[in-house]
Structure 1
Amino acid sequence: MTINRKRYYPLVIGWCLVAFVLAAYAQQGTTPVTYQLVQNINYRPDVADDDYIRERCVLDIYYPEQAKDFPTVVWFHGGGLTGGEKFIPEELQEKGIAVVAVNYRFSPKVKNPAYIDDAAAAIAWVFQHIGEYGGDPGKIFATGHSAGGYLAAMVGLDKSWLQRYGVDADQLAGIIDFSGHAITHMTIRAERGIKDTQPIVDEYAPLYHVRSDAPPLVLVSGDRELEMLGRYEESAYFYRMMKVAGHQQVYLYELDGFDHGAMAAPGFHILLHHVNELTKK
């Protein structure tokens, strides 16, 4: 199901969530499921070499203890690549999936591409270790909001980042990008002295790496009249160019009435829907 310029209303989202929860409950039956949270795991192999890496390059993993072969959502927080903190979204808790919340380094303390490399290292860690917690390495999704969505899209589209860690980006079950830049990120432009109203598309833009053989791509944007700068239009062009390149599984949603920050809450319902659909046997 491909959706172009889709207006997604809260009532529809609510019914989708009810259906998803009922289906998950039916699958679980009466067996109780408990969830475990393990915090502040260092994910970089060079963690001993740098105090800032030890501080920032950590992740939390939240997972269902009794389950096996569950999907995993790797969640990158927003904050413009200059701030923010990892968290397990409430909307993704107790949904039969694992959530890996990732911290990464910030500009200006580091410069591009350090934070992109952090995102790749974190995703690679999940591929290498999720089986130890019961998860299926074939069901890993790169996701995030704003700067986090940008990182997920960059690492998922430009295969060179994960190749550094021995992982093929096409092993991702999907990329779910909440209102992330499709052009080169504004903080990367600021590091070069370029204002945030000057769009650039270079090798640090997800748009630069559109390809037909990428993992399924889900783009979720807030209301075009309420979003930050031209974020909806970036997402719409990203969607169109992926289609032009021949990609068969790209989806675009616009959340009416929600601005850049508020769109994440209803966006989680879309995320759960696609995780469920893309991991069906």
Structure 2
Amino acid sequence: MNKITLVLLILVLGITRINAQSDTYVLEEDIPYYETNVSNSDAYIKERCKLDVYYPKEAEGLATVVWFHGGGLESGEKHIPDGLKNKGVIVVTVNYRMHPKVKHPVYIEDAAAAVSWTFKNIAKYKGDPKKIFISGHSAGGYLASMVGLDKTYLEKFDIDTDEIAGLIPFSGHTITHFTIRKEMGIRGTQPIIDKFAPLFHVRKDAPSMLLITGNRELEMLGRYEENAYFYRMMKVVDHPDIELMELDGYGHNMVYPAVPLLLDFVKRKTVALVPK
């Protein structure tokens, strides 16, 4: 067999393998995550409060990554990030209502409703409710942190935040989000730590966390530093399982290189959940 034939054969086999793997996954789109009476009560809820579930047909008891898109709480659409497809995890990707049509804390309430839906329904998609990880980029990372740290949002749905297997915010605010500050008439360069800041809810018993940001010199203003401060305060209260990673060479748009770190974190924490 000559080299050209061998290369072509490898390429064909590779494409066949990729296609076969892709064919084992199903994407179920635009599932309302509020109860029907709530969805029907408001046109904007009915339009925006939907999620997609991407799951494999054959596997059982998989981990789930709930993904919230970025966009400053003002723009963006649900999507599956590059690198999260065909990786042996279920992905739940979420739309939520946005500024200026709504104001805080509606964004966080929607995120909590989507996480609650996941806990209550993921077994139908062969996922394990004990292996649910919450993630997202920028505004989505902020929402992941708020839902996982402020217990009040999930309590409304009879869900304990400590049942979350892990939080992996990508370049998310740990101070109060700049759009929320804008809604309160506070300029974007004035940092605030109130009940709408993940930093306000630092606690020892929070879920495992992996904080990822771009390089501190390339990131949005102060984004690495506020995550570093959050990390330090979690250490001060003796949180047992938090990591902080700064991606050199990348700025705020650091999703693609961060996804393998997310997957590694999910794998490590999932293994730890297996009874010995």
TM-score (norm 2): 0.89
In structure 2, C-alpha distance between the alignment counterparts of 1:137 and 1:48, rounded to whole Å = 28
* 1:193-216 Cα deviation digits (max 9, x unpaired): 111100000000000000000100
**Where do 1:152-231 residues align within 5 Å?**
152-231=144-223
How far residue 33 of structure 1 moved from its aligned partner, in angstroms, is: 7.0
Task: Check conservation: 2:145, 2:198, Cα contact below 8 A.
Answer: yes
Residue type of the alignment partner of 2:70: G
Residues 81 and 255, structure 2, Cα contact 8 Å, conserved in 1: no
- Structure 2 equivalent of residue 42 of structure 1: 32
Alignment correspondent of 2:267: 276
CA distance in 1, matches of 2:82, 2:171: 19
**Would the aligned equivalents of 1:77 and 1:144 in 2 still touch at CA under 8 Å?**
yes
Structure 2 residue matching 1:268: 3-state secondary structure: helix
- Counterpart AA for 1:44: Y
Matched, 1:96 2:88: yes
Deviation, structure 1 residue 89: 1.4
- After TM superposition, the score normalised by the length of structure 1 is 0.88
Partners in 2 of 1:213 and 1:92 — Cα distance?
28
Q: How far off is 1:90 after superposition?
A: 2.4
Unpaired runs of 5+ in structure 2?
Answer: 1-16
The answer to whether the 8 A contact 2:22-2:86 is kept is no
- Checking the alignment, whether the CA contact within 8 Å between 2:21 and 2:86 is kept in structure 1 is no
1:17 corresponds to which residue? none
Structure 1, unaligned stretches of length 5 or more?
1-24
For 1:206, the aligned partner's letter is P
Give the residue type in structure 1 aligned to 2:185: G
Identical residues among aligned pairs (%):
58
Q: Matched residue of 1:85: which SS?
A: coil
2:226 corresponds to: 234
Secondary structure of 1:49's aligned partner = coil
- SS of 2:153 mapped into structure 1: helix
Runs of 4 or more above 6 Å deviation: 30-33
Q: 1:33 to 1:172 in 2, by over 3 A?
A: farther
What value does the CA root-mean-square deviation take over the aligned residues? 1.4
Contact 1:33–1:66, Cα closer than 8 Å, also in 2: no
Tell me which residue corresponds to 1:110.
102
Q: Which residue of 1 aligns with 2:52?
A: 60
